[in-house]
Amino acid sequence: MSKERQALKQEEIKNLIINTAQEIVAKEGINGLSIRKITNIIDYSPAIIYHYFKDKDEMISKLMEKNYKKIIDAMSSVYSTNSEPEQKLKDSTKAYIEIALQMPDEYMNIMLNTSDNILEHTSVLFNGASVKRQAIGVLCKVVKDYYKGFTISDAEIELTAQLIWTSTFGLIIRLIIEKNIPQEQRNNLINQHIKIIINGLLHTKS
């Protein structure tokens, strides 16, 4: 067996573990996940986890990273084809919200995660986030379009993009946490949210 095939086999078992973990989390939540539940399902002994991962935390981190990529993938389809910057921002924001709400548990687990290796991918409030974070980068472009002809620094643009993101993030998290919100109220909130932040931009041109 070649080194490559061996590595592939190892990857397969790692995936088997992670996917099984994912299923349990989907059914019973992150707190319902245990090593023994995983190994019972895949018919291994509990100790096997520690041959493929350092510990449970690392295993969960790997699961989170996978979900993060899943979210990123979904989000990359967000780019609105509309050429009007205002409509573009509205479309993109709405799409972003809806994608997040289609995978509420994953979104929350990732975006509220405080472990360093996850934050490495999910933090957005640092200087230079516009080049390192796709979501912020996209927002920056649209914001820049607004302020065409006005003297506004790149720093201020990034700041604004970050705040569009955090405000949208806040709405998403509360829509997830506060279950049982009627669909009509949800729609009203989302539409009004978009209205307000776009207007906030349109008229901050100083």
Distance CA(20)–CA(49), nearest Å, equals 12
Residue 127 binds which of DNA, its own copies, none (CB < 5-8 A, kind-dependent)? its own copies
Residue 199, CA distances (Å) to 89, 180, 196, 203 in order: 11, 29, 5, 6
Interface residue with DNA among 11, 55, 154, 178 (CB under 7 A) is 55
Nearer to DNA, 14 or 141 (CB): 14
Residue 157 binds which of DNA, its own copies, none (CB < 5-8 A, kind-dependent)? none
Ramachandran category for residue 140: left, alpha or beta (phi over 0 → left; psi -120 to 50 → alpha): alpha
115 sits near DNA (criterion: CB under 7 A): no
Distance CA(133)–CA(165), nearest Å, equals 11
Interface residue with its own copies among 25, 124, 135, 139 (CB under 8 A) is 124
56 sits near DNA (criterion: CB under 7 A): yes
| 53: Cβ contacts below 8 Å, ≥ 6 apart | 14, 17, 59, 62
166 sits near its own copies (criterion: CB under 8 A): yes
- Residues at the contact surface with its own copies, assessed by CB under 8 A: 112, 114, 119, 123-127, 156, 159-160, 162-164, 166-171, 173-175, 177-178, 181, 185, 188-189, 192-193, 195-204
